Structure 1
Amino acid sequence: MQVAIVVYPGFTALDVLGPHEVLGRLPDTEVVFVAEHPGLVVNDLGSLSVHVDAGFADVPEPDVVLVGGGPGAHDQLADGSLHDWLRAVDRTAAWTTSVCTGSFVLAAAGLLAGRRATTHWSGLDQLADYGVTPSTERVVVDGHYATAAGVSAGIDMALTLSGLIAGDHVAQTVQLIIEYAPEPPYRAGSVDSAPAEVFRSAVKTLTGSLPDEGAA
């Protein structure tokens, strides 16, 4: 099985490295990073680079496609070579998936119209602009599409996908190997559980401005 993970300038590292850690441990699986312009691709923090050897033409029929998110996803919404490739490989892929704002790239390519999908909480409502039904679930599976909410949810999505591909026993074995048993020190990991002042701080960090007083 071949898993193709798309990266682009400004991707969020955990969006792709979390699923890479999970899916790369499945039996008989090859994970390949693919980009429009092979070479060093720098993440959104500017502190990590992935060296990509494969361009789109080098990966014509992956079994699983994964598009991560990040600030750079905004630059991947215009129709172009990435969208052409996504539409082509989606015809034969067993699974087309995304993490965080990567779902906007899939949606902009026309792949999620009429489907349920999720993304980072800050942009969830905007999925409807692409004919997508937004879901607040952490992982959404609709047909052969699987989408994950923000950043860390990519690990959950990859484990879900592993179970669907290789069975629960294999997925649980991978989960144990990577010791994925999160016990965060704070209950601020979702909009519903985060204190109001934390929510406002997060929105300001993401957008540069504070939300309305009535928000969250």
Structure 2
Amino acid sequence: MPMTPARSNIVFTLFDQVTQLDFTGPVQFLSRMPGAIVHVAAKALEPVMTDVGFAIMPTVTFEDCPPADLLCVPGGLGVAAALGDSALLAFVKRQADAAQWTTSVCTGAFILGRAGLLQGKRATTHWGYTQLLHHVGAVHEDARTVFDGKVVTAGGVTSGIDFALAIIARLHGERVARSIQLSLEYDPAPPFAGGTPATSPSDIVSTMRAKFYDRAATRMEAALLNG
């Protein structure tokens, strides 16, 4: 008789103005992992607004959430404000203490850092904010997914899918990860080369920094320094 996979609590945190793909990308893959039980945690069982104008409904509150085997903190436009949310930070710290894996996607790394979980760790985040990782005691590593002990950080947004597959392979083997990758037809072939500053035209990088990321990084730095 085949063995039933051990059940694993996969816990995602939500906060106002979260980037939905930071959450929905990895959760779609991790939910297919053998034995996975997904919990979407927020302060209250009320819709949480994303940064694209629709809301996500949590399944548990911070108080009612079971202990995570894998904790994932997404990023988003709301991270700077979330850095001052004591209930969110306490939840992340409490869950991380017992979790097998503590992970983040994009700027969710700064929430891990504010919770004291990146001190002395190698880590990554969205390219527009990597220069700020030292404020939370982390050392930037230029990679799409960074493993340091039980802490895993993913780069910007779509990197969450890569991190999910890497975790699945560690827990269940490459064959299971490849099967889920095939099931979800994850075979990236973007119409343009790019997606990182190193692979994008320099004028586009400069324009994006000037239009958004310079100001956004300044706001994030202010929030980090005001902690």
TM-score, normalised via structure 2 length: 0.88
- Counterpart position of 2:31: 24
Give the Å deviation of 1:208. 7.0
Write the distance in 2 (CA, Å) between the matches of 1:24 and 1:205. 36
Match of 2:15 among 5, 8, 29: 8
**Structure 2: unaligned runs, 5 residues or longer:** 1-7, 216-227
- What does 1:166-185 correspond to in 2, within 5 Å? 166-185=172-191
Write the distance in 2 (CA, Å) between the matches of 1:70 and 1:205. 17
Q: Secondary structure at the match of 1:52?
A: coil
Letter of the structure 2 residue corresponding to residue 101 of structure 1:
T
Question: What are the superposed Cα offsets for residues 51-101 of structure 1, whole Å, 9 maximum, x if unpaired?
Answer: 113111111411110000011011111261111111111121010000000
- Counterpart position of 1:95: 101
Letter of the structure 1 residue corresponding to residue 181 of structure 2:
Q
| CA contact 1:39–1:53 (8 Å) conserved in 2 | no
- What does 1:23-172 correspond to in 2, within 5 Å? 23-46=30-53, 48-78=54-84, 80-172=86-178
Write the distance in 1 (CA, Å) between the matches of 2:173 and 2:144. 20
Write the distance in 1 (CA, Å) between the matches of 2:59 and 2:128. 33
- Counterpart position of 1:190: 196
Give the Å deviation of 1:49. 1.1
Write the distance in 1 (CA, Å) between the matches of 2:57 and 2:135. 34
**Structure 1: unaligned runs, 5 residues or longer:** 210-216
| CA contact 1:67–1:98 (8 Å) conserved in 2 | yes
Q: Secondary structure at the match of 2:118?
A: coil
Which piece of structure 1 moves more, 77-86 or 63-72?
Answer: 77-86
| CA contact 1:26–1:162 (8 Å) conserved in 2 | yes
Question: What are the superposed Cα offsets for residues 166-213 of structure 1, whole Å, 9 maximum, x if unpaired?
Answer: 11111110011011110111112111010011112221332477xxxx
Q: Percent identity?
A: 35
Q: Secondary structure at the match of 1:183?
A: coil
Q: Secondary structure at the match of 2:78?
A: helix
Question: What are the superposed Cα offsets for residues 151-175 of structure 1, whole Å, 9 maximum, x if unpaired?
Answer: 0000000000111111111111001
| CA contact 2:45–2:58 (8 Å) conserved in 1 | yes
Aligned length: 208
Write the distance in 2 (CA, Å) between the matches of 1:192 and 1:75. 30
Which piece of structure 1 moves more, 82-91 or 176-185?
Answer: 82-91
Q: Secondary structure at the match of 2:143?
A: coil
Write the distance in 2 (CA, Å) between the matches of 1:12 and 1:146. 18
Q: Secondary structure at the match of 2:60?
A: coil
